[in-house]
Amino acid sequence: MIIAERKPIGEILDMIRDCDRVLLLGCRGCVTVCSAGGEREVEILASLLKLGRKKEGRPVEIVEGTLVRQCDREYIAGLAQWDGQYDAVLSMACGVGVNFIANLRPATVVFPAVNTSFFGGSATQGVWTEQCAGCGNCILHLTGGLCPVARCAKSLMNGPCGGSQNARCEINPNVDCVWQLIHDRLGRINRAEQMLQIAPIRDWQSAGHGGPRQVVRDDLIV
């Protein structure tokens, strides 16, 4: 899922400084699961913004809402129910949601309340780790299911590098060297010979280096 983290309150207050009425909009998708922008977080941020503005002597009206998702046209259409009730939308969805509102609501002012961090999962309760870089050309079948693009600091295709020390990455002794993990795992699943395959020079266009990407499925288009 997409992992996000709420922006500092001061930064958000600065965004909405000219607004008297704000629609604080949560999303029931990924940001609910990672506790960054679901209904509960909407409730908390609404309180904080009201308190912050009250302290400044400029109370703000916060309208709270949450959409099933903010990355689909049909759900963004649901924004109509709050028409006329706000000066700006403060979205707690990932950057996709903010972009969708901007795309589909040309006259609506929209601000991001979270920083969209990465694609990851919950390693333990309250801890999320990056697992996928969305590079558009998956090679996990060659690496035992562990992604060197996302989890190697250099995104090396033929690792490990000389900075791998005691199975840790040179950038931080708390970070596993994913190539060590790949090596160990391929050995455990009797596929160690895959380490000998030399990965060719990679075309990074699919990773976004060729501009914004899109997926088109003709079979779904009527």
CA dist., res. 85 & res. 93, Å (int):
20
Residue 52 as a binder of another protein (CB under 8 A): the answer is yes
**β-strands 61-67, 21-27: how paired?**
parallel
Stretch that binds another protein, among 37-45, 97-105, 107-115, 145-153 (CB under 8 A): 37-45
Q: Which tokens hold the place of 187? A: 């050995």
The correct pick among 47, 103, 165, 205 for binding another protein (CB under 8 A) is 47
What distance lies between CA 218 and its chain's CA centroid? 27
Q: Which of 77, 74, 22, 78 is nearest to 48 (CA)?
A: 22
Least Å from the CB of residue 123 to another protein: 18
Residue 117 phi, psi (nearest 5): -95, -60
In the complex with another protein, the residue whose CB is nearer, 51 or 123, is 51
In the complex with another protein, the residue whose CB is nearer, 125 or 190, is 125
Q: Which tokens hold the place of 98? A: 């903010």
CA dist., res. 21 & res. 46, Å (int):
11
In the complex with another protein, the residue whose CB is nearer, 58 or 213, is 58
Residue 187 as a binder of another protein (CB under 8 A): the answer is no
Q: At 166, is the secondary structure helix, strand, or coil?
A: coil
Residue 21 as a binder of another protein (CB under 8 A): the answer is no
In the complex with another protein, the residue whose CB is nearer, 19 or 71, is 19
In the complex with another protein, the residue whose CB is nearer, 38 or 159, is 38
Residues that bind another protein (CB under 8 A): 8-10, 40, 43-44, 47-48, 50-52, 54-55, 57
